[in-house]
Amino acid sequence: MKRKLKNLVVADWMLELRPVNSFVVSRYRQAMRQGEEFPAIIVDSASMEIISGNHRYMSYLGEFGEDHAIEVESHPFGNHAEKLAFAVGENVKHGEAMDGITRRRFACAMIDEGMTTQEVAALMNVAVHAIEKWGNQTVLVIGNGAKPVKTGFDTKTVTKIKKTDYEEHMDKDLGVEARGLMRQLSRWLGHGWIDLEDERNKEAFEELKKAME
């Protein structure tokens, strides 16, 4: 069936699990201009929430506007776990592959909804011990429950953080252990690969010095 873009719903919970990547949207828009065909967007028949296809939706919206009608597939979902599982299953088959932290977000969300580690592992085509490991790489975000963190975060030392700090971690941090970052910085300094006269570098080193003190 066809629906206008303005009648579809981009769910906040889905964006929290997987924010829209503007580079992917730009690539899709270019493909649309060249006449490429995309799979139909999947929506929840009850709420019209997009379960699979947010990147396609944003691309259509930017390219054609909210009154543009597209082909969608409407599916009934019994509960939230079914929506999560369907979204993961669709991504495995096609589309922009989820990165590591997104996969961990979905895994934690599905387990929170009552799915077993075995079910999640089978759906994501990974070993059960990988799902168990992801479950250990979480922190308690105050007011938002357990959330996965990027690789390298010391969850043995830090078990609870504020929501604003978690959002900053997701937005700015690299998935690298602190000692790896420090050793890289030491190598770069040793090789003379950092301009120590650059004002921005001076400012950054001052921030680091203060933090270490």
5-49 pLDDT, tens per residue?
999 999 999 999 999 999 999 999 999 999 999 999 999 999 999
Co-location of 191 and 119 in the same domain: no
pLDDT at 200: 96
pLDDT score of 95 more than 80: no
Co-location of 28 and 75 in the same domain: yes
CA distances 120 to 64, 111, 131, 134, Å, are 37, 8, 8, 11
CA distances 66 to 20, 53, 72, 126, 149, Å, are 17, 15, 15, 38, 35
Collapse the DSSP code of 139 into the 3-class scheme (helix H, G, I; strand E, B; otherwise coil) and give the result: strand
Residue 69 is part of which domain span?
2-136
User: What pTM does this model have?
Assistant: 0.84
Co-location of 26 and 66 in the same domain: yes
What is the percent of the chain where pLDDT is above 90? Answer: 90
Confidence of residue 195 (pLDDT cuts 50, 70, 90): very high
The secondary structure of residue 49, as a DSSP letter, is B
Co-location of 91 and 168 in the same domain: no
Domain boundary among 77, 110, 136: 136
Phi, then psi, of 125 in degrees rounded to 5: 60, 45
Q: How many residues does the chain have?
A: 213
Co-location of 128 and 202 in the same domain: no
Co-location of 189 and 104 in the same domain: no
pLDDT tens digits, 122-171: 999 999 999 999 988 999 999 888 899 998 999 999 999 999 999 999 99
Count of the separate structural domains present in the chain: 3
Co-location of 186 and 170 in the same domain: no
pLDDT at 193: 97
Co-location of 162 and 202 in the same domain: no
Co-location of 182 and 192 in the same domain: yes
